[in-house]
Structure 1
């Protein structure tokens, strides 16, 4: 089993969990706030428990995940199944095995000021620094979108 590094981030957002959940996962706003990771960031699939979803960037490269659990406006748990290269699934290469089994969890907690969003990630060691730099930028943009009138 590959070794994953656990990292987490918290954003306090002045909007109710229903709004944060909707804006975080809607295709158009997803492309906006995830541009911190890649300007061409997008996903293919539906946000439904048990479904697979592809998170993609340029050239059809990205990651393949299963939505393990989804409670609207409250909780999303993703499990990485592998990578996508040139649009094709890769679950067996050394790089892909580095992601297999890693989790990504979003928790939306209602607080007096709106929502406390916690993002918990398990990532291969070599990606820790990248995500420590990019996730705060992404969450800042998500906060702006959620708090806009």
Structure 2
């Protein structure tokens, strides 16, 4: 399992950054960095299952391990989805955490990922682009 970290300073309140991350419309915008047409189904309540899709109904499903609104969201990845059908995977503790720290000038968004080696380069390539989009969306119209 590989641990990787990303961090970005955003000149917007943590509530605004949170809304950009998890509101349906803006989620679809920043996740274009990974796959154009990405969307999710489910709720972010702790213990619930979230499904993350591409336009072809492929993707992955995860359990919400922690949700402290405007502060932290942690997902445990459980498996992949092919043509809408869940396929459990043995990824162990594959997690993705979004941590928002309030600062005097805005928010520091930290991403902490535990991932199998096979996905590490994908995240290292795509997450900086995604975070740039989150920053832009959060800072506009303030």
Task: Indicate whether the TM-score tops 0.5.
Answer: yes
Normalized against structure 1, the TM-score is what?
Answer: 0.91
Please report the TM-score for the alignment, with normalisation by the length of structure 2. Answer: 0.96
1:11-35 Cα shifts (integer Å, max 9, x gaps): 1000011110111100110000010
Distance 1:141 1:36 in 2: 8
CA distance, structure 2, for counterparts of residue 48 and residue 11 of structure 1:
25
Structure 1, unaligned runs of 5 or more: none
- How far 1:46 moved relative to its partner? 1.0
Alpha-carbon offset, residue 100 of structure 1: 4.5
Structure 1 segments, 4+ long, off by >3 Å, are none
CA-based RMSD: 1.0
Task: Tell me the residue number matched to 2:11.
Answer: 14
Describe the superposition over 1:30-69 as per-residue Cα deviations: whole angstroms up to 9, x where unpaired: 0000100000111111111111101111321111100011
Aligned residues: 141
Task: Point out where structure 2 has 5 or more consecutive residues left out of the alignment.
Answer: none
Q: Give the conservation status (yes or no) of the 8 Å contact 1:13–1:143.
A: yes
Residue of structure 1 equivalent to 2:47: 50
Question: CA contact under 8 A between 1:54 and 1:63: conserved in structure 2?
Answer: yes
Match of 2:81 among 81, 84, 91: 84
| Secondary structure class of the residue paired with 1:54 | strand
Contact 1:11 1:139 in 2 (8 A): yes
Q: Distance in 1 between matches of 2:56 and 2:115?
A: 22
